Structure 1
Amino acid sequence: LLKAGTNAVGQFEFSAGNIVPVGMKLALEPHIMGGMACYVVSLVVWIMGLSRVEVSIAYPMLSLGYVLNAVAAWYLFGEAVSVTRLAGIGIIIIGVYIVARS
């Protein structure tokens, strides 16, 4: 969502006189608002997870964010997924599975 929001706003230049107008434009972009809402939900879920699971189990689960990010980038933005990236995704999934089973 954040990427879609910055794409919707378009290119901009960061300068001292431009920071407030660009900041407002970004802050009011619906995609950016949605992305920030996702961050808030993610934080709440993370805190709830930490209250129920050991940190040594919960923290490796964050690695799944890399997997979800790669899938979303491919699906939403048509980004290429190379064999190397797929191998890395596979390693992450296997690692998280091993940690979850321990």
Structure 2
Amino acid sequence: MGYIYIAGCILFTVYGQLVLKWRMNLKGQLPEALNEKALFMVKLFLDPWLVSGFAAAFVASLFWMAAMTKFEISFAYPFMSASFILVFLLSMFLFGETFTWGKVIGLLLITAGIFVTVKL
């Protein structure tokens, strides 16, 4: 069951990050003028998709708390790096973000770090 808690945390974290990026792409740049910034922020907090992203972060934290009842943090935390891999892959597919070998090498190093931390 503990691994399900970790997976839930990762999935809700990834969902939240992707939804926030999607909606921010649609909303555009943060305005320069202070009064326009305030209005921009109010509109953001009224966007139901952004609210779902914030809710996902909250749910992810609940899954994380449950995972902490099953594992030592030094064992469980490296698995959170899987969110980097999922966000990278999904952002290329969903947003057309760039693929670079540097990113791939970095993700491979992260993956190797997960295995080294969990297995040793």
Where on the TM-score scale, by shorter chain, does this alignment land: which range?
Answer: 0.7 to 0.9
Is the 2:30–2:37 contact (alpha carbons within 8 Å) kept by the matching residues of 1? no
CA distance in 2, matches of 1:84, 1:92: 12
Q: Which amino acid aligns with 1:75?
A: F
Choose the corresponding residue for 2:55, options 37, 42, 46: 37
Choose the corresponding residue for 1:79, options 97, 100, 107: 97
Greater shift in the superposed pair: 16-25 or 48-57: 16-25
Is the 1:4–1:31 contact (alpha carbons within 8 Å) kept by the matching residues of 2? no
Q: Which amino acid aligns with 1:3?
A: K
Shift of 1:14: 4.2
Is the 1:2–1:32 contact (alpha carbons within 8 Å) kept by the matching residues of 2? yes
Number of equivalenced pairs: 102
Please report the RMSD computed on the Cα atoms of aligned residues, expressed in angstroms.
1.6
Is the 1:5–1:30 contact (alpha carbons within 8 Å) kept by the matching residues of 2? no
Aligned-pair identity (%): 26
Matched position secondary structure for 1:17: helix
Shift of 1:12: 3.7
**Alpha-carbon deviations, 1:46-70, whole Å to 9, x = none?**
1111111001111222222211221
Higher helix share: 2
Residue 101 (str. 1) matches residue 101 (str. 2):
no
Q: TM-score under structure 2 normalisation?
A: 0.74
CA distance in 2, matches of 1:12, 1:85: 27
Q: TM-score under structure 1 normalisation?
A: 0.86
Aligned partner of 1:3 in structure 2 is 21
Flag as ranges the 4+ runs of structure 1 deviating above 3 A: none
**Alpha-carbon deviations, 1:8-59, whole Å to 9, x = none?**
2233404322233111210112321221122112111111111110011112
Matched position secondary structure for 1:52: coil
